[in-house]
Amino acid sequence: MVVYIREAHPEEGWVVSMNRDEGIEINDPTSNKERLNVAASCAINLKIRMPVVVDDVDDNIASAYGALPDRLYLIGKGGEIVFQGDEGPWGFDPKALEAAIEKAAGLVKSWN
């Protein structure tokens, strides 16, 4: 699933030129309802095909997982963290997550 957290590039903060080029202007949500609306717009525009959940504006989830601006995790069936990627965007490595999923599913033998 995708966990939508605090907006990384709101109008009140660090606006990136790519957002300007694509006509994206997002104000930093100040309520859970506003954040839900922004997350829904993001999911629709990016055509996200997996469940999207939204962190409250208190940012408890983002803080607990060190998720700003983005981070990949794999949570095991028992609720344990099986894989924790490095902080994004430079540590955003979908191939490493894929390998962790395959290992957790028993598709790859561990040599450790």
Q: What is the mean pLDDT of each run of 10 residues along the chain (112 residues)?
A: 87 81 86 95 92 95 85 90 88 92 78 52
- pTM attached to this predicted model: 0.75
Q: How many domains in the chain?
A: 2
92 and 48, same domain (yes or no)? no
21 and 65, same domain (yes or no)? yes
The parent domain of residue 37 ranges over 1-69
Q: Are strands 2-4 and 73-75 parallel, antiparallel or unpaired?
A: unpaired
What pLDDT, on a 0 to 100 scale, did the predictor assign at position 89? Answer: 81
Which residues have C-beta within 8 Å of that of residue 82, sequence separation ≥ 6? 74, 75, 76, 100, 104
> Do residues 78 and 60 make contact, with C-beta atoms less than 8 angstroms apart?
no
89 and 101, same domain (yes or no)? yes
> Do residues 92 and 70 make contact, with C-beta atoms less than 8 angstroms apart?
yes
24 and 78, same domain (yes or no)? no
Rounded Cα distance between 95 and 35, Å, is: 29
